[in-house]
């Protein structure tokens, strides 16, 4: 990170000076002042998918691909060069890209930290504080469809700002995409409705599903914390194992983010307490999308996660 920080000042100046976009009325959506497709950098697959739905002609680079971890990701020199050359940079914020905050905030008007623009009443508290003692919030806002729909509109607004001649197209695309999200949520609510699953307890590796739990009324627990760098202590893991045994949770979930050894250890700890818990064969998608369709899209991952949880818990207690 020391090398990265030394480059920040130069990048900030170059990026800000290079950023100058004007509308081009003769071109389609997502074009620069030179009539070329806008180059967009997105730190997560979730954001890249939103961009592709709103501005399908944009050239999108995704920082963290399938299985990647934005919490610990440190940008390479190539990443920094790509960011510098991008017309727009969308990042999550809320301390998700913890190793890149200085770099991203140095980019001026061309960067948007979408999570920072969300209403505070939609954000869940994070038990930790930043270096200055300020309260933090759970950054996994894509697992709140309500919040993510606002993110989609925020992204569309930014495109409209830099390419005003196509503003209505961006707005229409965003509205259509939000309707698709709403339909996916309705489908997921039906799968996870009261009476269809029991117990309503979701145990995962990475603690990325609190918004998902709030949306679908699930009690969420995990083997690590909101940041993948923080793991449960032996005492905390023991307490979680006892909770699973006491509540006869039939299935726990590995995700595409956390260390699988943590879930294996948890399973063994539960068994030592007299309860047999299975690890689902269907992993959940946490901080990154899947490599294959349909889990390589936000809606596909959301529906997959809902189906996996519903199928794992639907026969519990019978």
Give residue 20's pLDDT. Answer: 37
27 within 8 A of 56, measured Cβ to Cβ: no
Kindly state the DSSP code that residue 143 receives in the 8-state scheme: G
CB atoms within 10 A of CB 231: 16
Query: Is the pLDDT reported for residue 48 higher than 80?
Result: yes
Range with top average pLDDT, 24-33, 90-99, 308-317: 90-99
Give residue 128's pLDDT. Answer: 77
For the chain, give every domain's residue range: 2-185, 193-313
Query: Is the pLDDT reported for residue 304 higher than 80?
Result: yes
In which residue are the tokens 């946490």 written?
286
What number of residues does the chain have?
318
CATH topology agreement for domains 2-185 and 193-313: yes
pLDDT band at 130 (very low <50, low <70, confident <90, very high): confident
| CA atoms of 128 and 28, how far apart (whole Å) | 45
Q: What is the pLDDT of residues 246-279, one digit of tens each?
A: 999 999 999 987 678 889 999 999 999 999 999 9
Q: What percent of the chain has pLDDT over 90?
A: 77
Task: Write out the two tokens for 70.
Answer: 């934005």
Average pLDDT across the chain, whole number: 88
Spell out the CATH class of 193-313: alpha beta
CA dihedral 290, 208, 227, 252 (to 10 degrees): -90
Q: What is the largest CA-CA distance in the chain?
A: 70
Q: What is the pLDDT of residues 220-235, one digit of tens each?
A: 999 985 555 556 788 9
Q: What is the mean pLDDT of residues 39-63?
A: 98
266 within 8 A of 240, measured Cβ to Cβ: yes
Higher pLDDT residue, 258 or 48?
Answer: 48
Tell me if residue 134 falls in helix, strand or coil: coil
Phi, psi of 113 (to 5 degrees): -90, 95
In which residue are the tokens 């509540």 written?
247
Q: What is the pLDDT of residues 143-189, one digit of tens each?
A: 999 999 999 999 999 999 999 999 999 999 999 999 999 999 999 99
Give residue 7's pLDDT. Answer: 35
pLDDT band at 9 (very low <50, low <70, confident <90, very high): very low
Give residue 227's pLDDT. Answer: 55
Give residue 28's pLDDT. Answer: 46
Query: Is the pLDDT reported for residue 245 higher than 90?
Result: yes
Tell me if residue 315 falls in helix, strand or coil: coil
| CA atoms of 167 and 158, how far apart (whole Å) | 9
Query: Is the pLDDT reported for residue 318 higher than 70?
Result: no
Global pTM reads 0.87
| CA atoms of 158 and 41, how far apart (whole Å) | 13
Question: Which string of b and e fits 25-60 if b means at least 16 CB within 10 Å?
Answer: eebebbbbeeeebbbbbbbbbbbbbbbbbbbeebeb
211 within 8 A of 138, measured Cβ to Cβ: yes
Give residue 225's pLDDT. Answer: 58
**Nearest to 61, CA basis, from 77, 76, 46, 39:** 39
**Nearest to 39, CA basis, from 97, 70, 82:** 82
E strands, the chain, in order: 39-44, 59-64, 88-91, 111-113, 125-129, 135-137, 201-204, 219-222, 251-252, 278-279
Query: Is the pLDDT reported for residue 19 higher than 50?
Result: no
Q: What is the mean pLDDT of residues 43-57?
A: 98
Give residue 127's pLDDT. Answer: 78
Q: What is the mean pLDDT of residues 75-104?
A: 96
> CA 36, 41, 44: angle at the middle one, nearest 5?
145
Give residue 82's pLDDT. Answer: 97
Give residue 29's pLDDT. Answer: 62
pLDDT band at 315 (very low <50, low <70, confident <90, very high): low
Give residue 134's pLDDT. Answer: 82
Higher pLDDT residue, 137 or 261?
Answer: 137
Query: Per CATH, which fold does 2-185 belong to?
Result: Rossmann fold (3.40.50)
């Amino acid at each position: 990170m020391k090398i990265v920080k030394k480059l920040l000042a130069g990048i900030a100046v170059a990026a800000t000076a290079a950023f100058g976009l004007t509308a081009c009325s003769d071109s389609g959506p997502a074009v620069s002042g030179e009539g070329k497709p806008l180059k967009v950098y997105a730190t997560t697959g979730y954001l890249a998918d939103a961009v592709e739905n709103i501005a399908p002609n944009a050239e999108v680079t995704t920082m963290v691909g399938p299985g990647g971890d934005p919490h610990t990701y440190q940008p390479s020199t190539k990443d920094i060069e790509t960011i510098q050359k991008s017309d727009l940079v969308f990042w999550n914020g809320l301390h998700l890209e913890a190793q890149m905050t200085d770099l991203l905030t140095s980019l001026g008007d061309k960067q948007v930290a979408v999570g920072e623009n969300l209403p505070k009443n939609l954000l869940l508290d994070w038990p930790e504080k930043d270096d200055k003692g300020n309260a933090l919030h759970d950054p996994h806002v894509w697992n709140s469809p309500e919040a993510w729909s606002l993110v989609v509109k925020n992204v569309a607004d930014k495109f409209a700002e830099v390419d005003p001649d196509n503003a209505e197209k961006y707005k229409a695309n965003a509205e259509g995409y939000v309707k698709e999200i709403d339909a996916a949520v309705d489908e997921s609510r039906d799968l996870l409705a009261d009476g269809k699953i029991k117990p309503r307890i979701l145990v995962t590796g990475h603690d990325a599903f609190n918004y998902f739990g709030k949306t679908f009324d699930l009690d969420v627990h995990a083997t690590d914390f909101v940041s993948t760098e923080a793991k449960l202590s032996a005492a905390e893991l023991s307490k979680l194992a006892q909770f699973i045994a006491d509540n006869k949770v039939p299935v726990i979930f590995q995700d595409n983010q956390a260390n699988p050894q943590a879930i294996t250890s948890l399973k063994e700890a539960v068994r030592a307490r007299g309860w047999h818990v299975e690890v689902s064969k269907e992993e959940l998608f946490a901080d990154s999308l899947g490599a294959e369709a349909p889990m390589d899209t936000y809606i596909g991952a959301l529906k997959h996660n809902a189906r996996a949880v519903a199928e794992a818990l639907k026969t519990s207690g019978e």
